[in-house]
Amino acid sequence: MKRSIPFFGLCISVFAYALAGHQAPTSSPKLVNFDRDVLPILSQHCYKCHGPDATKAAAGLRLDSFSSVAIAKGSPEKSLLIHRVSDKNPGSRMPPEDSGVKPLKPNEIAIISQWIKQGAQYEKHWSYIPPTMPKMPVVKNLTWSKNPMDRFVLAKLEGTNLKPEPEADKDTLALRASQVLTGLPPSPAELDEFRRDSKPGSYERYVDQLMAKPSYGEHQARYWLDAVRYSDTHGLQLDNERGVYPYRDWVVRSLNQDLPFKNFIEWQLAGDLLPNPTTEQRVATGYVRMNLTSNEGGAIADEFLARNTFDRVDTTSTVMLGLTVQCAKCHDHKYDPIKQKDYYGLYAFFNSTKDEPLDGNITLPPPFIRASTPEQEARLVAMTSKLMELRQSVDLSKAAAQITAQKVAIPTTKGWQISPVYAEKSFDEAFDRAEAPESNTGATVPWKPFDFEVGKDFANIVKIDNASVYVRGTVVMPTAQTFSFGVSTDDAVKVWLNGKLIHSHKIGRALNSEVDRVVGEFKAGENELLVKIINGSSIDGLNIRLFDPNTKVLMDALAAHQKSPNTEKSKIDLATAFLELGPSSDSSAEYRTLIKERTAFEGSIPMSLVAEEMPKPRPAFILKRGDYLQKGDMVQRHIPDVLGSIPAGTKIDRLGFAQWLTSPANPLVNRVFVNRIWQQYFGTAIVKTTDDFGSQGEWPQNQPLLDFLAVSFAQNGGSMKKLNRMIVTSATFRQSSQITKEKLTKDPENRLISRGPRFRMDAEVIRDKALYSGGILVQQLGGRGFKPYQPDGLWEGASDPASSTHIYEQDHGMAIYRRSMYLFWKRTAPPPSMLLLDAPLRDTCVVRRSTTNTPLQALTTENEPAFLEASRTMAQRILSQRSDDAGRLKFAYELTVARAPKPAESELLMKGLAYYRKKYLADPASAKKLISIGEAPVAKGISASEQASWMIICSTLMNTDEFLTIH
Amino acid sequence: MDPTREAELLMTRRQLFGNTTLGIGTAALSRLLTVGGLGSIAGLAEAFGEQGRHGIPGIPNFAPKAKRVIFLFMSGGPSQLDLWDFKPKLAELFNTDLPDSVRRGQRVTTMTSGQTRFPIAPSKYKFKQYDNGSDGIFVSELLPHTASVVKELCVVKSMWTEAINHDPATTFIQTGSQIPGRPSMGSWLSYGLGSLNDNLPTYIVLHSKVSSNKPNQAVYPRLWGSGFLPSEYQGVAFRSQGDAVLYLKDPEGMDRETRRVMLDNVEALNHQALGHFGDPEIAARIKQYELAYQLQASVPDLMDLSKETQETFDLYGKEAHEPGTFAANCLLARRMVQKGVRFIQIFHRGWDLHNNLTGDLPSQTKDVDQACAALIKDLKRTGLLDETLVVWAGEFGRTVYCQGPLSADNYGRDHHPRAFTIWMAGGGVKPGMVYGNTDDFGYNIVDKDGKIIDPSVEDFTPGAVHVHDLQATILNQLGIDHTKLTYHYQGRDFRLTDVHGHVVKDLLK
C-alpha cells in the first residue's frame, strides 16, 4: 500500500484551513500546532479507540503519546496513520465503518500530514499548562486602547483587518454599564449626574459608583448561583423546602465586599476545615451541600451517598476546573487524560461529610448553624458584653444575704390519691379529653389512696401509651400567699389548684429533664392540688417539689459560690442566677429585658446548611460503571496526574483540595473564572465552551487575552471588582454595538469583539428592569425567597401532596416586588416566567445559559401580571410626574431605554396613544379592568382611560428589543 | 447562509408581506416558528415556503414509519401482575414465601428490605384470554376496553429498568439517565426532527386528573425539559385550568384590536432598531411576536372540543367533557396529532400502590381504560394510527410479594424494576403481538423454555427490553438511528440512549 499525498496540495489545504479559521489564526498560517490543530482531529476521529483510555487502546496503539509507531516523524508518506486514514477502501480505512465515527476530511488529513512533516511534536493540552503573562502585542493603532487588555483585543482585530467601532454615546454606555454591573438601569438622577459630568474620567467614576452599589453583588452573584445550582428546595421526589438561603446572601455579601477569589473558593469548599472557622466561613460551605437530595420512600442510602458525591464532584470540576470529569465515572476518559481512578480520587474528597445521604424530608438536615452575618454577630457580642457587665456589677455579698432571706419552709401535704388510668387513641386526645376527675359532670371517680411523697420520683403510674392518670392531694399553707413550686413529668402535665387550672404543658419528655415552675394563689389552710400526667409512649413519671424551683437554683448557686468563693465561674453563676431569678431591681429588669431581646434577635437569624467532615473519612472505591453496588479497588484522595498534585505539607482533605485549586500552580481555575466573566459582558466567552477546557472544548479564541486576564486577575489578589472594572472601562467594552455588513460577514458572532456587546438580557434582569421602570422594585438585600404572582395550580398540580412545597402561598405587599434573584426557587417547579426566559432549573450546574427567542417569551413579557402591573405603575408615574404628552413620552423612554425618543418613534407612539384614548374613553369599563391588574394601589385622580392608554404605551416599550437587550 | 444576506432577505419579505394585519404576511411568518432560536436565523430560507420547522441535517436517517408519538405515562408503576402478566400458578402459593431461587439476592427497596418475610400475593383479579389475531393474550378484568383493542397492541412483558425508586426511574425512562440534566425524549425529537406544524408547539405535555385521592408521585418540568439542549426544545405543558398555555390570554380590558395596534407599534419600533443596529436577532424577535399573536388564536381553537361529535364522546366516555381528565387529554391528543404536534406526553399519576392495592387500582384503571381504547380506535378510524406511535408505560412494575398486610382480597406491592409490562400501538409496530416472558412469579424475565435471563445493559439480550432499547425502538420508528441523534455538550456527544440501547426488531412490522 503506497500512496502519498502530493505535498503541494497539502500546503494549499493547510493554508486554506487556517484562513477559513474558525480556530485562532496564527501569525504563520503554514505552521501546524498539535494541540490547537491536530488534537481536535485525533480526539474526534481516533481517541474513541486509540486515546487516553488505556483499556480501549485498540491494537495497542495510542495516539495521545510520544511513542506511537504509526507516525514516522518528518515523513507523512511513511506514516501508517496517514495511510490508514486516507485509505480509499472503506473496509481497511480508519476509523472503521462500524465505529460510528466519521472518516477524516481531506483538509484534516492534510493538517496531520503537515504536523508529521514538522516533526510530530506532541504538546500538552494548552489548558493544562499554567498561564504566564503574555508579551504585550504590537499594534498599529496606538491611540485606541484604554488599558493593556485592549491591546490584546486590538491585535486580534488588526490581524483580521477589522477596525474597532467608535465609542458608543454616553446614554448607551450609561445604560449598558449599569445593566451589566448591577442588573438594573441607572436611576434618572444617576443618569443626569453622569451626563452632566464632563470632566475626564467621568465614565470611570460612574463605573466605580455602580460597583459600590449593593445591587452589584446581587447581580454578580446570580451567575455564581446558576453555576452552583443554588435553590430553596431539595430537588428530588417530595422536593421539600431547604434552609440554605444565608449561603446565597453570603455570596452577595462577599462579592460586594470583593472578597479575594482565593478565600471565596476556599471558604465554600472547605470553610469548616479552616482553623477556628468563623460563622461566615462555615455558612460558605453551603456550597458543598447544594447537591440534590432525596428521602424517597424505599431509597437506599448507599446509592444516594454515591449519587450525592457524583453531583458534588461533577459540579466542582465544571465550576472550578472547566473539566468534564464525569466521563471517567464509568471508564478512563476517552479524550482527556483523566483516569477512572482519578475520578474516584476526586470523589474521595467529597464522600466524607457528616450529612446523611438521605435528607429526611426536613428543611434542615444536619449539620446546620445559625447563620449570623458579621453585623448580626457584632450585635450579639454587644448584647453579650452588656449582659456580662450587668453580671459583674452585682454586689455578691448583698445577693447572698437576699437569697438566704428568701428561703421558705416547705408546706406539708396529706391525703394523696390516684385515679384510674384513662386510655385514649392518641396523645392529643389523652391530653385534651377532660376525664371525670377534672370534669364537672359529677361522675364519681374511684380514687385510690396513693403513697406519694413530694420531692420523690414516681415512675410508671400511667403505664400505657396515649393515656392519662390524675393524682390529687391536700397542701396545707400557714398563710394565704402566692406560692411557686416545681413539677416535673414524663410526658405532659396539667395542674389545678382548688379546681382552677393553673398550669398546662403539652410535651414529650423524660422525667426531670426539666422542671416546670408553677405559680398558684394559695389560701390559708387546706388547698386541693390536682395533677394530670399524660403519657405519650413507654415510660412515664411524676415528681412534685413544693418549693420555688427558682429558689432552689439560687440556693444551689449560692452554695457553689460559698464552696469556692474565688473562682470566676462561681461568681458569674451566682450573679447570673441572682439577676435572672432573684428579687426585682432596676438591673435585674434591664438584664431580663436584654435576655428576652437577645433570644428574640437570635431566633430571627436563620439557620443554614453547612458541611462538616467526619472524624474518620469513609473509604472510597472505584465504582464499576458508576454503580454503587460494584465496588472495585480502593482509592486514595488525589488530583488527576495531569493537573499536578496537592502541595507537600498540605493536608489531603477538602481544604487541601481547595488550596491546590487556588494555588498559582493550578492551570485552570483563574482562566475558567475570567472566561465566564468575559461571557457575562460580551455574551460569548473567549473559550466558548465555558464548561469544557478539555481537548473536546473550544480552543481559546484569543489565548493571549485569556491568559492576560487570568494572570492579572491573580496579580490583583483575585479582586473580582478590579477584573470587572478593567473590562467595563476598556475601549473594547465601550464600542458601539451597531453591526456593519462587513462585520456581520467577518465576525458574525462578535467573537473578535469588533463591536460592542449585544445580547438579550437574562430573565431576572428583564423582570427587575420592568419593575424598576414601574417604580415598584423593592431593593431589600437577602432573606428568605419570596413568592410573587403565579398562575394557579403550578405547584399543586404536579407535586406530591406530602411535600412542604405542595401548596403555593403567594406573598403580598412589598415582598412580591423584590429582585428576581430572591425568588423562591423550587427545583421541580421554578418560577414560570423565569423558565420561559431560559433560566435553568437549578438541578445541574449551568455555566452557560441558552438564550432562545420564542413566542412563549413574547407572551410572557406581554401578559405576565408582574410585567403588566409594572407597565401600569410606570404609567401612573409618568402621568403624575409630567404634565404633557411629549414630556411623558420622554420620561417613559428615559425609564425604559435611558434615552430620548426619536421623532419617528414619537410620531408612531402618539398615534397609538390616540387610538387607545379613543377606545378607552368610549369604554371606561374596559379601562378600569385593565388598570386593576396587580396588587399595587391604583392612582386616584387620574382618569382610568388615561392610565390604561399610557399603560399600553409603557408595555409597548417594555416589549421592544431595545428594552430586552444589552446593547 | 451568510447572515447579511439573511437579514436582507428578511427585510424584503417584510416589505412583501406588510406588517399590519393577519394577511399573508403573518401567515407566512408563522411558518417560521422558533427558527434560529439560538441567535442565528440559519435555516430560515429553507423553512420558508414549507410547513413547519426543520430539524437537524441528516435526521431522519431513513424513511420513518411513524411521524408522531403519543406517550401515555402511568406514573408510579402500574402492577403488571394485576393487569397484564397473568400468573395462574400463584393462586396456590398464597402467603407462601417467595423462594430465594426466584429473588436471587436482588436488591429491594428499603420499604420492604426490613420485612421478615416476602409472602406471595396472587392477583385478586380474573384474567380472560382475548383474540389478538395471533396466539391470544390474557388481560385482567380491570381493562375491558383495552382488551377490546388487543389486535392493535404490541404488548411487551419483559421490560426492565435499572432504577428502583420513582424519581430516578421516571427520570430514566423520560430522559435516558437517572440523574437530572439530560433532555427528555420529546425534546430530542423536537430538536432532531423539527416541527410538523405552523402555529403550535412541537412537544406538548398534558397532566391528567386522578380520581383516587391517594397521594401521588410528583411529576416536574425536568421530565419534559430540554436538559442541555436549547430551551426552545422543551415540552410545553398545557394546562386544564386557566390559560392552556401560560400567559396566553391578553389581560381583561384589552381586546384583540388593541393588542394588534400595540403589536404593530412594537414591530415598527423593532424595525427601526433593526435599521439602527443591523442585528439579525431583532428580525427573529419580530417574528416571535407575530407567532405569539397567532398562538393566541390557534391554542384556544385546539382546546375547543365543542365541535367533536357525540359519537366521539361516546367513544372516549363522558369524562371527556371534563377538562383535565385522562379521557379529555386523549381526545386532545388526537386533535393535536391532526394538527401536526410531533410528540404528546400524557401523564396519569397514582399507580404507586404499596398498600390497599385492590381498593385503589380499579379507580386507576377506570380513569384510563376506556380512553386508551378510544384513542386507538379514533386514530384508526381517522387513518392516523399507522403514522402515530402510541406507547403506554410506567417507570417500573410491582413485586409479586406483598408489602404490608396480606389477605386474599387486599395486599400491597413494592417497586419492581426486573420485569414489567408496557404496550405500543400503531407507528409500524407489530399489532397483535406479545413479546417476552416472565417466570411463574412475574419476577424475572425468562426465555421460551422458562430459563431465567439475566439481561445486560451492555449488550442486547433477546427476549428482554431495557429502557434504552425501548427508546432506541421508538426513535427507530421515527426514522432515527438512536446512535446518530447526538448533541455535543461538555466535550461529549450525548444521546438519549447514552452508550446503550438496541432496536428491538422483533417488535416491528
**What rounded mean pLDDT belongs to chain A?**
91
Contact between A859 and B36 using a beta-carbon 8 Å cutoff: no
pLDDT attached to residue A865: 98
Work out the minimum CA distance from A745 to partner chain B, whole angstroms.
7
Largest pairwise CA distance in chain A: 123
Distance linking the first and last C-alpha atoms of chain A: 59
Q: How far apart are CA B12 and CA B10, in angstroms?
A: 5
Residues 185-224, chain B, touching A (beta carbon < 8 A): 207, 215-222
Of the candidates A307, A327, A952, the beta carbon closest to that of B179 is on: A307
pLDDT range class, residue B352, cuts 50, 70, 90: very high
Hey, is the C-beta of A630 within 8 angstroms of any chain B C-beta?
A: no
Q: Pick A853's closest partner by Cβ from B249, B258, B281.
A: B281
C-alpha triplet A166, A167, A168: angle, nearest 5°: 115
Amino acid occupying residue B334: R
Cell 436577532: give the residue.
Answer: B281
Determine which helix (DSSP H) or strand (DSSP E) holds A224, and give its type and residue range.
helix A214-227
Per-domain residue ranges for chain B?
3-58+255-296, 68-241+323-507
Instruction: Please count the other Cβ atoms lying within 10 Å of the Cβ belonging to residue A682.
Output: 21
B48 band by pLDDT with thresholds 50, 70 and 90: very low
Per the DSSP assignment, residues forming a β-bridge with A414 are A474
* Mean pLDDT computed over A923-935: 97
* CATH code of the domain made up of B68-241+323-507: 3.40.720
ipTM, two decimals, is 0.83
* Contact: B288, A912; criterion CB under 8 Å: no
> How far A23 CA sits from the closest chain B CA (Å)?
17
Residues A326 and A338: their CA atoms lie apart, in Å, by: 10
CA distance B277 to chain A (A): 4
Residue A705 CB contacts under 8 Å (≥ 6 apart), including other chains: A149, A152, A153, A156, A686
Contact status, residue B453 vs residue B157, Cβ threshold 8 Å = no
Determine contact: A305 vs chain B, CB below 8 A. no
Please give the pLDDT value at position A65.
66
Asked if B405 and B416 count as a contact pair (C-beta separation under 8 A), the reply is no
Region A569-575 average pLDDT:
92
B270 contact A CB<8A? yes
Q: Please indicate whether, in this complex, the C-beta atoms of B273 and A962 are within 8 angstroms of each other.
A: yes
Fold of A409-547: Jelly Rolls (2.60.120)
pLDDT band at A303 (very low <50, low <70, confident <90, very high): very high
Out of B2, B247, B276, the one facing A864 most closely (by C-beta) is B247
Residues from chain B that touch A956, judged by Cβ atoms under 8 A, are: 262, 265-266, 269
Structural domain boundaries of chain A? Answer: 7-123, 374-404+557-605, 409-547, 863-966
In B, minimum Cα distance to A961 occurs at B270
- Nearest residue on chain A to B488, alpha-carbon basis: A696
Provide the pLDDT for residue A426. 85
When pLDDT is averaged across residues B131-153 and rounded to a whole number, the result is 97
User: Within an 8 Å CB–CB cutoff, is residue B236 touching chain A?
Assistant: yes
The pLDDT value recorded for residue A45 is 84
pLDDT at A218: 98
- Any CB–CB contact under 8 A between A903 and chain B? no
Closest CB to A852 among B37, B181, B296: B37
Q: How many A/B residue pairs have CB atoms within 8 Å?
A: 274
Interval A39-48: pLDDT, tens: 878 888 888 7
For A237, the closest of B166, B253, B284 (CB atoms) is B166
Q: Give me the sign of the Cα torsion angle A38, A42, A44, A45.
A: positive
**What is the H or E stretch that residue B398 is in?**
strand B397-402
Mean pLDDT of A597-601: 95
| CB atoms A933 and B251 under 8 Å | yes
B239 Cβ under 8 Å from any chain A Cβ: yes
Instruction: Check residue A16 and give its pLDDT.
Output: 35
Least confident of A133-137, A664-668, B173-177, B341-345: A664-668
Q: Decide if B11 touches A, using CB distance below 8 A.
A: no
State pLDDT tens for residues B438-473.
999 999 999 999 999 999 888 889 999 999 999 999
The pLDDT confidence band at residue A178, using thresholds 50, 70 and 90, is: very high
Asked if A485 contacts A545 with a C-beta cutoff of 8 angstroms, the reply is yes
Q: Does A264 touch chain B (CB under 8 A)?
A: no
For residue A262, give the nearest of A625, A936, A717, A882 by alpha carbon. A717
pLDDT score of B33: 32
Q: Which residues of A touch B32 (CB under 8 A)?
A: none
Chain A residue numbers touching B170 (CB-CB < 8 A): none
- Considering A429-443, B188-202, B333-347, the range whose residues carry the highest mean pLDDT is B333-347
Nearest-by-Cβ selection for B37 from A833, A854, A932: A854
The closest alpha carbon to A228, from A251, A207, A246, belongs to A251
Which residue shows C-alpha cell 485592549? Answer: A150
Q: Which of B207, B265, B282 sits opposite A798 (nearest CB)?
A: B207
CA distance B149 to B373: 6
Task: Using a CB–CB cutoff of 8 Å, tell me whether A858 touches chain B.
Answer: yes
- Encode burial over B207-241: b for 16+ CB neighbours within 10 A, e otherwise: bbbbbbebebbbbbbbbbbbbbbbbbbbbbbbbbe
- Over the stretch A338-395, which tens digit does the pLDDT of each residue have? 889 999 999 999 999 999 999 999 999 999 999 999 999 999 999 999 999 999 999 9
Q: Mean pLDDT across the stretch B120-138?
A: 96
At A54, the pLDDT band (50, 70, 90 cuts) reads low
Average pLDDT of chain B to the nearest whole number: 88
CB contact under 8 A, A863 and B236: no
Min mean pLDDT across A401-410, B13-22, B409-418 is at B13-22
Question: Which has the closest alpha carbon to B88: B130, B135, B138?
Answer: B138
**CA-CA distance, A340 to A482, in Å (whole number)?**
76
- pLDDT tens for residues B305-315? 999 999 999 99
Res. A51: pLDDT tops 80: no
pLDDT above 90 covers a percentage of chain A that reads: 73
Asked if A801 reaches chain B (Cβ–Cβ under 8 Å), the answer is yes
Interchain contact A930–B (C-beta under 8 A): yes
Q: How far is CA B89 from CA B85, B123, B137, B436, B441, in A?
A: 12, 11, 17, 18, 8
Chain A contact for B91 (CB, 8 A cutoff):
no
Phi and psi at A251, nearest 5°, equal -60, -45
Give A-chain residues touching B269 at CB under 8 angstroms.
905, 908, 956-957, 960-962
Task: Note the pLDDT of residue B218.
Answer: 83
Q: Determine contact, residues A65/A124, Cβ cutoff 8 Å.
A: no
> Which three cell numbers, joined as nine digits, stand for A232?
430553596
Identify which of A717, A609, A540 has the alpha carbon closest to the alpha carbon of residue A368: A609
Q: Could you report the per-residue pLDDT of A832-864, keeping only the tens digit for each?
A: 999 999 999 999 999 999 888 889 999 999 999
The residue-averaged pLDDT of A700-727 equals 97
Residue of A nearest to B481 (CA): A100
Q: A263 falls in which pLDDT band (50, 70, 90)? A: very high
Categorize the per-residue pLDDT at A55 as very low, low, confident or very high, splitting at 50, 70 and 90. low
- Tell me how close the Cα of B300 comes to any Cα of chain A, in angstroms: 15
> Residue A11 is placed in which grid cell?
500546503
Lowest mean pLDDT among A176-180, A754-758, A955-959, B40-44: B40-44
- One-letter amino acid at A419 equals S
Residue B24 predicted with pLDDT over 60:
no
Q: Give which of A790, A762, A814 is closest to A866, Cα–Cα.
A: A790
Q: Check if the beta carbon of residue A557 is closer than 8 Å to that of residue A571.
A: no
Q: Does B36 touch chain A (CB under 8 A)?
A: yes
Of A440-444, A501-505, A552-556, B58-62, where does mean pLDDT reach its minimum? A440-444
What is the mean predicted confidence (pLDDT) over A781-786? Answer: 96
Q: Closest chain B residue to A741 measured between Cα atoms?
A: B4
In b/e form, how buried is each residue of A483-496, taking b as 16+ CB within 10 angstroms? bbbbbbbbbbbbbb
pLDDT value of residue B220: 86
Query: Judging by beta carbons within 10 Å of its beta carbon (0-12, 13-18, 19+), is residue A370 exposed, middle or buried?
Result: middle
Average pLDDT rounded to a whole number, residues A910-929: 97
Q: Evaluate if residue A678 carries a pLDDT over 50.
A: yes
Cα of first residue to Cα of last residue in chain B, in angstroms, is 41
Say how far residue A235 (Cα) sits from the centre of its chain: 13
Instruction: Report the percent of chain B where pLDDT is more than 90.
Output: 76
Q: Which of A475-479, A736-740, B46-50, B402-406 has the lowest mean pLDDT?
A: B46-50
pLDDT tens track for B379-438: 999 999 999 999 999 999 999 999 988 999 999 999 999 999 999 999 999 999 999 999
Nearest-angstrom CA–CA distance, A292 and A312? 9
